[in-house]
Amino acid sequence: MGHIQDRWFRDKEDPETGKPVLNAKGKPVQERTSLYGKGLRYKVRYLDPDKVERSRSFPDGKLTAAREFLTKMENDVYAGTYADPTAGKVKFRVYAETVMASRSQDESTVYIEKSRLENQVYPFLGGKLLSSFKTPEPIREWLAWLRKQDKETSATYQRTLFDLVSSILDAAVADGKIKKNPCRDASIQAPKRIQRKVVPWPDSRLRRIELALPARFKPCVPLGAGLGLRQGEMFAFSLDNVDRREMVYHCTRQMVTVGSERKFKLPKGHKTRTIPIGRGVLDALDAYAELFPPTRITLPWAERDGRAFETINVLMVNKHGELYKRTAFNYVIWQPAFKAAGLSYEDRDDGMHALRHLFASSMLARGVSVKELAAYLGHTNEGFTLKVYTHLMPSSHERARAAADEMFKPRTAAGEAEETA
């Protein structure tokens, strides 16, 4: 059972008997303690579900509030709904860092998420106590602040940040720091991801970029448009992974940058994959290798599987025999190629991912199934592939009309109908 301690007064004791001195009404006489007038008067003491004593103090004149608090805590313990009132007295940033440290994500993903928190979340939410998230107001204010920033805050990126914050607050609920996640409140309108339709490059644009790229980096075109590799997978490409008898490429690694350090790791989603390689693509890569022989490179291995380093014969390096970092490559090599080709560059349409989209569209146009394409691209599921590329699939209208005509024969042939029209 809990109780309320009066820190300013105590029962007066008879110095001879040690028993409480009673007044005329039979109630204990009160005397001041050495703490009289100092600090908060009432101290509520109670046991939490783990039988650990907890306490909270209230000022003079707030005895009723102290009693109500004690009653609530005891009822919550009995009902199994108890939450430590002091659990939320930790700043969002401090708690978020403990959550991020406990996650088993790969190093590069953790680095990216920490960067997002540092730049787009902590400046506004970092100093707030978790206890301030009792209402959705801090989340609404943060979203409004986010939309006003000069940095890259598209609706899709805002949703990525929102989901990250929500996952941290989910952990706070699980840890008993807060009772509910305000991001899930009905009054919060989460940013909606904008699904942009992929528009594949025409072949002429591809060829102009291929001509404009420096000789050392022309393999980007067959690796992206011919194999569907991501940028980091292009940088880690090795002809040693080509099975020339089966005519397939085993995509088993990518190159990532963690902080300022280059590392090898498994492809996105920790999924290796096998991709058919066309003879024309392989001819182009072999011809390149004759001009620029592969370079043996050793980098730290970013996966937690017991390997410390990975050594491979990399196909494409700079003149110093080193791998470019992704951002540097984009600014120094990729984007200048558009200017050299006399083409404008659009961030969302002309990144190196455009080559991968071109690969996907050409596969679909030639009858490759969505299931097969998802495997070649390394997507986690076919549904995602279908969502991104369904509008590029060949129309089935003519096949549907032909099927209907088999059951319901037209009165006239198509040619006769055109002549009489």
**Together in a domain, 22 and 107:** no
Does residue 338 lie within any of the structural domains?
A: yes
- Are residues 103 and 250 located together in one domain of the fold? no
Q: Is the pLDDT of residue 415 over 50?
A: no
Pair (73, 110) in one structural domain:
no
Range of the domain at 18: 3-79
Q: How many CA atoms lie within 13 A of 364 on its CB side?
A: 22
- List pLDDT tens digits, range 293-350: 999 999 999 888 888 999 999 999 999 999 998 889 999 999 999 999 999 998 878 9
- pLDDT over 70 percentage in the chain: 93
Give yes or no for residue 418 having a pLDDT over 50: no
Domain boundary among 30, 52, 79: 79
Q: Which range among 33-37, 168-172, 176-180, 386-390 shows the weakest confidence by mean pLDDT? A: 386-390
Q: Please indicate, yes or no, whether residues 247 and 383 belong to a single structural domain of this protein.
A: yes
* Token couple for 123: 């400046």
Is residue 410 assigned to a domain? no
Residues 327, 222: one domain?
A: yes
Say if CB 248 and CB 257 are below 8 A apart. no
Domain-ending residue, one of 184, 215, 243: 184
| List of E strands, 301-346 | 309-314
Q: Are residues 145 and 113 in the same domain?
A: yes
Residues 176, 83: contact at Cβ < 8 Å? yes
User: What does the alpha-carbon distance between residue 3 and residue 55 come to, in Å, rounded to a whole number?
Assistant: 10
Whether residues 211 and 287 fall in one domain: yes
User: Cα dist. 114→111, 120, 270, 319, 363 in Å?
Assistant: 5, 10, 20, 33, 37
18-62 confidence digits (pLDDT tens): 888 888 888 889 899 999 999 999 999 988 887 888 888 999 999
Question: Alpha-carbon dihedral of residues 254, 257, 263, 269, nearest 10 degrees?
Answer: -40
| Burial of residue 80 (number of CB atoms within 10 Å: 0-12, 13-18, 19+) | exposed
| 99 falls within a domain | yes
Residues 98 and 75 in one domain: no
DSSP 3-state assignment of 73? helix
Q: DSSP state, 129?
A: B
β partners of residue 10: 31
Q: pLDDT at residue 421 above 50?
A: no
Q: Please tell me whether residues 237 and 133 are part of one structural domain.
A: no
User: Within a domain: residue 411?
Assistant: no
293 alpha-carbon distance from chain centroid: 38
First-to-final CA distance of the chain: 95
Q: What is the pLDDT of residue 254?
A: 95
Convert the pLDDT of each residue in 318-331 to its tens digit: 999 999 988 899 99
Token pair recorded at residue 170: 């989910």
The answer to whether position 191 is within a domain reads no
Which of 27, 52, 79 terminates a domain? The answer is: 79
In a domain, 315, yes or no: yes
In angstroms, rounded to a whole number, what is the distance separating the alpha carbons of residues 132 and 140?
13
pLDDT at residue 212 is higher than 70? yes
**Domain co-membership, 220 together with 352:** yes
Phi/psi of residue 382, nearest 5 degrees: -70, -30
CATH number for the domain harbouring residue 141: 1.10.150.130
**Residue 147: φ, ψ to 5°:** -70, -20
Nearest to 265 by CA among 105, 100, 376: 105
**Does residue 166 sit in the same domain as residue 211?**
no
Tell me if 408 is assigned to some domain: no
The per-residue pLDDT of the chain, averaged, comes to 88
Q: What is the CATH number of the domain that holds 295?
A: 1.10.443.10
- Residue 394 is predicted with a pLDDT of 63
In a domain, residue 15? The reply is: yes
The model's pTM is: 0.68
Average pLDDT over residues 261-280: 92
Residues 149 and 296 in one domain: no
The least confident of 63-77, 146-160, 230-244, 385-399 is 385-399
Confidence of residue 264 (pLDDT cuts 50, 70, 90): very high
How many beta carbons lie within 10 A of that of residue 164, not counting itself? Answer: 16
Domains contained in the chain, number? 3
Please provide residue 356's backbone torsions phi and psi, each rounded to the nearest 5 degrees.
-65, -40
- When pLDDT is averaged across residues 272-290 and rounded to a whole number, the result is 94
